[in-house]
Structure 1
Amino acid sequence: MDAGTNDGTISSAVFITATEPEPRKYGKPVVIGGILDHLCERLGPENVHLILIGRADIQRPDVPYQRHVLGKPGTVEQATSVLANVVLPPRFRPAGFGQNAGEHSGGRYRHPLQEAVLHSAALGTRIFAKVNELEADLEIWDTVRMGQYVLERGETARDRSALWPTAATAGHQVKRRILYADDLFSERYDAMLKEEGGSGNPGGEFAKLLPGPAKKLLANPKVHRPLLRLERDLVAASETRQPEYFDGTYLISPEETARLQAKVPGASIGTLPPLLREPNSSRVRHYTGAPEFTFIGGFDYAPNRDGLDWFLQNCLGPVRQVLPNVAVNVVGPGTDAGLPSGEAWGGAVRFLGWVDDLDTVLNGSAALLSPLRTGSGVKIKVLEALARALPVVGTRAGVQGIEGAESSGLLIGETPEELASAMLRATDPIRNQQLSAAARTAWDTRFSPPVVRRRYDEIFGLARAIPPETRPIQLPRL
């Protein structure tokens, strides 16, 4: 069972992350924001806490929940951690957080780079000091980057009740501790390596935590491909190592959930879908047959840039052959800079950058275009399309995590010719109407807020209060 207790005993929660959850302009902050919104609704904003590892000297938007910022490790500390935890063999390492001379298993393995840049004995102490101060019933640790600190406490989900609290840890007894694993990052890196000519940066989202010189070093293909292979292997080990330390481990993709369950059969592993808001637009689309498509995705995420670049380089001929008047809108942070591969398309490709009113762009489109070649998890942009009853044309990687293909409003192609054919089919008004209805049905039955909220209640061990008028009548005893 991967469900929570659902007995109503959870009254407070804390989410520990190194990802800025605001503003919610792309995938990860959207997911974190949905979790926090649900907890605030169920528990009250005053009982929901965010421990954010980041800079304390920047202005952040006001939020309803309680935010606690802890400074991330400095450049020297990060470099020392990478040397000690990634480069040096484990037997040569000094003792780490929660270890006695490296005796605990947490000191006997190499950390992935994304863990090492956040690995600090001082930070670990501060995190648990704040966690213990808050005494939340529910703890949610964001990905293996944060989960490493739970592992280094040495308390598995099985033995935590026996080990904690003790005089040594001086901690409170948490009722439910969850690892939000997000994606199987090891599979994302593996796909990047297998892609011919792929140049995925192993830094990914956590590269934002790195100092400038390290980011430049990772941009060198001679460095990042060997590092990508190492990171893939080290992250894979963490993904199978950490679940036993949590009451539940959750991924965003059902497919990846099943694969991790097979690798760690004794752990509680499940799927946590993203909680998205209902769009403002009407459920009814009035598509008239214009050959217009929209790509959504920020260029700061390597798979987005790589996928669109591949499409623009390889699909011009096949697409123009069947849709000579095609138009492609490109929306997302950083996309206004354009791509050299778009020049051959002339004015047919419009690099719009970020747009505040997404409905206006999508309403005139035949379909969302998602030609990604690598990536992991469920694509938020695909769910946004389904919510708007908008069909999707994409590769298998571009629609990963959504089952059903055409029965979910998806047209899938892998080659330029297959994608061009799918785009042509999407411009047929009758077929588009059928796909539109299928897309909205998929949203309503699997991804709409009521469906996801019920799932969150199960995962987090929350119980919806019974209104007084629906409580069973208590008859007096005779």
Structure 2
Amino acid sequence: MAVALISAVDPYPTDAGKKVVLAGFIDYLSERHGHDNVHYIKVGAPPQQQFPVQVHVVPGPSRAQVLGNLVTKVATGRASLQEAFLGSRRTAAGISEILGKIRPDLQVYDTVRMAQYASDQVAATQVCYLDDLFSERYERMLAAAERYGEINVSPLGNFAEHVPAKLRPLANHRHSQTLLLRAERSLVRRSEDRTVHRFRRSLLVNADEASVLADRSSAPDDRIRSVPPLVMAPASPQRHWDGEPEFVFLGLLSLPHNDDGLRSFLRTAWPQIVERLPGARLRVIGREARPELSELAATLRDSVQVDGYVTDLGEALGGAAALVNPVRFGSGIKLKVVEALGRALPVVSTPIGAEGIASGPGTGVLVSAEPAEFTELLCSLTNPAYNAEISAQAREHFLSRYSRPAVFAAYDDAFGTD
């Protein structure tokens, strides 16, 4: 059985949540159907690393084509901005040619950006991975910007590489940011609702968002599934935490929700923790720290260490008392939480940071939205006996929901594999 995944994202290295999910799809489909039968159609720049499956590169749209899409499609409400930035007849022809040669039984389109390249006839028998509900993400960004005035809600994130350089500054100024988010919220909602009716099945990583989409689109129950991410974790994680008040934050720092949540935590809860636990340290792991975060961390250099991308998360997470996840807005699920669970690391999170993941007693995920209670939860985990109890719960949570057998069973259902 031949399989094709169509995406503009290079999943390797797996240093962001979306990449982790796509890499998991590749792993799953390769095991079920064989590496030689899985084809990854990459739109845009060629992959930077060697792929475990066959790769086909298709050129993305030219700058002129993007500008034309903005006038003919976005301005008329026919497409969202993200579809416009990745839409072109040349790209469509390239994808069609490759699919004609492969003749795949299963085609998986990555979000509405690639779903635009499936005809209604093809979509009726195939799968679209919607990732997060982007319409919900933008809605929450707007609400957060109104509530927390200091937030930089630059909406491009990892998508910036697909936006013409001359247009990127529009996403960096508050007024134009807000206008863009409002417009894209409405446009992409239409595309999401249209997609769920066109495709045989649409997949999201967050069960709550899957319910939102089902309710608002009135789509049949079998059209939408939530699927867990496939996160690699050691069979027997070895924690080497020595009882010291060492904590870790993990995530791509250029993402608005990570940048905002971490800066808020450093301004509110962290000073309380340092006061209560002299010698407390926070290790921040993630690429692309914004200047404001770097400047704030520099004032706390005696207790906060900002690292870039770390290849060995086992060492970093294994030596911490807990993962700190203080995000105040966002969508989807936070892969860092699943990563921590897989390594038996207790998690302290805001409710939004734990959304889509079971939390509370018995889960290894402790939740609070208030800085004082957040502080109390982190401090409580420096008790070795209590830490060991929550650690065991975290690992059991991972095994029951996110282990390889559990995820593959969910994917068998989602992709319709017998």
- Per the shorter chain, which TM-score range? over 0.9
Q: CA deviation at 1:222?
A: 1.9
**TM-score, structure 1 length as denominator?**
0.82
Q: Is 1:404 aligned with 2:359?
A: yes
Q: Secondary structure at the match of 1:49?
A: strand
Q: Contact 2:328 / 2:352 at 8 angstroms: preserved in 1?
A: yes
Number of the residue aligned with 1:466: none
CA distance in 1, matches of 2:13, 2:136: 28
Corresponding residue for residue 53 of structure 2: 65
Deviation at 1:156, TM superposition (A): 7.6
Conserved? CA contact 1:278–1:449, under 8 Å: no
Q: Secondary structure at the match of 1:155?
A: helix
Contact 1:334 1:354 in 2 (8 A): no
Alpha-carbon distance in structure 1 between the residues aligned to 2:406 and 2:397: 11
SS at match of 2:344: coil
Is residue 359–residue 367 contact of structure 2 (8 Å, CA) maintained in 1?
no
CA deviations 1:70-121 (Å, max 9, x no partner) are 011111211121122112x3xxxxxxxxxxxxxxxxxxx4321111111212
1:86 equivalent to 2:74? Answer yes
| Partner Cα distance (1:126, 1:397) in 2 | 40
Letter aligned with residue 439 of structure 1: A
1:62-461 correspondence runs (5 A): 62-87=50-75, 89=76, 109-150=77-118, 153-155=119-121, 176-195=125-144, 196-197=148-149, 198-267=151-220, 268-279=223-234, 282-285=236-239, 287-335=241-289, 339-461=294-416
Structure 1 letter corresponding to 2:48: R
Say whether residues 1:30 and 2:47 are aligned partners.
Answer: no
**For the residues of structure 1 that align with 2:260 and 2:165, how far apart are their CA atoms?**
22
Larger of the two Rg values belongs to structure: 1
Given candidates 35, 44, 49, the residue that maps to 1:45 is 35
Residue 261 to residue 372, structure 1, CA distance change in 2 (3 Å): same
List gaps (5 residues or longer) in structure 2.
none
Cα distance, 1:317 vs structure 2: 3.3
The SS at the match of 2:311 is coil
Report the Cα offset of residue 286 of structure 1. 5.3
* Partner Cα separation in structure 2 for residue 154 and residue 449 of structure 1: 33
Distance 1:406 1:285, change over 3 A: farther
- Over the matched positions of the two proteins, sequence identity in percent amounts to 36
In structure 1, stretches of 5+ residues that fail to align are 1-10, 90-108, 161-175, 464-478
The CA deviation at 1:382 is: 0.8
Indicate if the aligned counterparts of 2:359 and 2:366 stay in contact, CA closer than 8 A. no
Q: 1:217: how far off?
A: 2.3
Give, as a single letter, the amino acid of the residue that structure 2 aligns with 1:454: A
CA shift for structure 1 position 449: 0.5
User: Does the Cα contact within 8 Å between 1:75 and 1:211 map onto a contact in 2?
Assistant: yes
1:371-405 alpha-carbon deviations (Å, 9 max, x no partner): 11121112111111000110001111222211132
The structure whose RCO (Cα within 8 Å, separation 6+) is larger is: 1
Find the aligned partners of 1:373 and 1:190 in 2 and give their Cα distance.
13
Instruction: Return the alpha-carbon distance in structure 2 between the equivalents of residues 317 and 44 of structure 1.
Output: 52
In the alignment, the residues of structure 1 paired with residue 211 and residue 372 of structure 2 have an alpha-carbon distance, to the nearest angstrom, of 32
SS of the aligned residue for 2:353 comes to: helix
- Root-mean-square deviation (CA), in Å? 1.9
**How far apart are 1:462 and its partner, in Å?**
2.2
Residue 49 of structure 1, CA deviation: 0.4
Query: Equivalents in 2 of 1:353, 1:455: separation in Å?
Result: 33
* Separation of aligned partners in 2, 1:41 and 1:224: 43
CA distance in 2, matches of 1:352, 1:287: 19
By how many angstroms is 1:346 displaced? 3.1
Kindly provide the CA deviation profile for residues 395-424 of structure 1, in whole angstroms up to 9, marking residues without a partner as x. 112222111323211111212212111111
SS of the residue 2:249 aligns to: strand
- TM-score, normalising length from structure 2? 0.93
